[in-house]
Amino acid sequence: MKKKHSKNLMIGAWLTGIMLALILVGFFWTPYDPETMDSTAKLSGVSLSHLMGCDNFGRDIFSRVLKGGGTTLLVALGTVGIGAACGVVLGAFTGYFGGVLDELLMRANDVLFAFPSILLALVFVTLIGSGTWNVIIALGIAFIPSFARIVRGEFIRCKNMDYVKSARLAGVGHLRIMFVHILPNTLPVLLSAILIGFNNAVLAEAGMSYLGIGVQPPQASLGRMLSEAQTYLFSAPGFALFPGIFLILLVLGFSLLGEGVKDMGRR
């Protein structure tokens, strides 16, 4: 069992590292300008000059996959950053102090948690408009309940442990106990939740862009590319195949890495 756990962690780390390296390269260099159109290369297949072929506007698919992966990563980072930061603070205060505040906030959290995060994000985007930054804000807000629930549970588990009682007897303030003594002991669970959050954020961004309410053209996005490619599945299968494979590998890497970290925390 331990061997299987370590295998998940190792494969996830390698796969995630490779995908992030490709995305990082795409931030600084791509073979072609992802937005440049070439009418003579429309829907051309794989070749030495275009490793993944070209799309319906003659744009290099490999360049757009690299840029689209960067867009997806940016959205995932922003989403998890907002969701984790707000969720940690909310979960820490409700889990540590409890009482009426805990009941009120957790009941509101339960109401939000009852709806799928992507559905909440769709509602928020409908209200505030589409675009990369609006998607980040909408998904970040939608991810707060899941992080708050996880952190609250860990604080409830830890707040009556001996090291916390000793800190209270020594006169240590509540905020220091919460964020210096308790929070570090929640990191294994929180790190696993963050990695799984990345996985979910990548899928959510791709889904919203696929529906046309996420990242807007001409900015490259994996979900948007899949949406544009669905008309050409038989005439130019690489148009959908390569962005789809890239998205699957990115999600798989984060998923295996998150499972590996979670399994390590259980030992």
Q: How far is CA 83 from CA 31, 140, 175, 191, 255, in A?
A: 35, 5, 21, 13, 18
Maximum Cα–Cα distance across the chain: 76
60 DSSP β-pair partners: 54
Burial class of residue 113, CB neighbours in 10 A (0-12, 13-18, 19+): middle
Q: What is the pTM of this model?
A: 0.85
CA-CA distance, 219 to 236, in Å (whole number)? 21
Confidence check: pLDDT of 67 > 60: yes
Report the mean per-residue pLDDT for the chain: 85
Q: Radius of gyration of the chain from Cα atoms?
A: 22
Task: Count the neighbouring beta carbons within 10 Å of the beta carbon of residue 251.
Answer: 18
Residue 38 DSSP one-character state:
-
Per-residue pLDDT tens for 185-198? 888 888 888 988 88
pLDDT for position 3: 52
Q: Cβ neighbours of residue 84 under 8 Å, at least 6 residues apart?
A: 143, 147, 190, 193, 194, 197
Share of the chain above pLDDT 70, in %: 94
Predicted pLDDT of residue 84: 93
Place of tokens 């707000």: 86
Q: What single DSSP character describes residue 216?
A: P
Measured distance CA(171)–CA(169) in Å, rounded: 5
pLDDT digits (tens, 9 = 90+) for 218-249: 788 888 888 888 888 888 888 889 999 999 99
Whether the predicted pLDDT of 1 surpasses 70:
no
Concatenating the DSSP letter of every residue in 55-97 gives -TTS-BHHHHHHHHHHHHHHHHHHHHHHHHHHHHHHHHHHHHH
Residue 82 pLDDT exceeds 90:
yes
> In sequence order, which residues have a C-beta less than 8 Å from that of residue 237 and are 6 or more positions away?
none
User: What is the pLDDT averaged over residues 63-89?
Assistant: 92
Among 7-11, 80-84, 157-161, name the most confident range: 80-84
Each residue of 124-160: pLDDT tens digit?
777 777 778 888 888 898 888 889 889 988 998 888 8
Give yes or no for a cis peptide into 116 (omega within 30° of 0): no
Can you read off the two tokens belonging to residue 43?
A: 């829907």
